[in-house]
Amino acid sequence: MRTGAVSAGRETFSMLHVKDAAAFIYAVMSAESHAHSDYQLSSMRELSELELSQIISEEAGFPVKVLERKDGGTERNVLNASRFTQEFGLSATADYRKEVGEIVRFIKRNKSSYVDPEEVLFYAAEVLEAGGRLLRHYSRIFGRDADNQKAHHRVRP
């Protein structure tokens, strides 16, 4: 990314804003009872690395050359939050473009706090790209499909 280019593939993932995650967790913790002992928390809105790279470029106001990786098929890393949504009636409200824009504006406002202000937005894009890679590896590490209803974090009923 420091060169003005980012490598992105067609892999898809979903992001969950901390505000949505907090609301979801509060709903579970404040409920008197639970129908299930585990829930997957997700926005369930798919976004590809290519789409995220384009949003970052548009919101940052500078061109980013997206180098599409041709590394095989498309991997999908989206948790299925339908069980949670059905029981608690909540779904994610955060908008990817708006949230990425807020991150970019925060970084621009506070660029003097960073070691190299000229490269800070490039680093932010690298962090977001790394997040996508982490999600892809999550299912491999735990040997489970991201769509599988078996969550890895349990809630006491």
Please check whether residue 16 is in contact with residue 133, taking contact to mean a CB–CB distance below 8 angstroms.
no
Residue 72 is predicted with a pLDDT of: 56
Centre a 10 Å sphere on the Cβ of residue 70 and count the other Cβ atoms it contains.
7
The pLDDT tens digits of the residues spanning 66-91 come to 777 776 556 777 888 899 999 999 99
Q: H helices within the chain, ranges in order?
A: 18-30, 49-60, 82-88, 96-109, 120-142
pLDDT of 143 over the 60 cut = no
pTM of structure: 0.60
What's the rounded mean pLDDT across residues 23-45?
90
Centre a 10 Å sphere on the Cβ of residue 135 and count the other Cβ atoms it contains.
19
Residue 156 is predicted with a pLDDT of: 43
Domain covering 5-142: architecture: 3-Layer(aba) Sandwich (3.40)
Any idea where the domains of the chain sit in the sequence? Answer: 5-142
CA dihedral sign, ordered 79, 131, 76, 97: positive
Range with the poorest average pLDDT among 69-73, 89-93, 100-104, 110-114: 69-73
DSSP state of 38: B
Per-residue pLDDT band at 26 (split at 50, 70, 90): very high
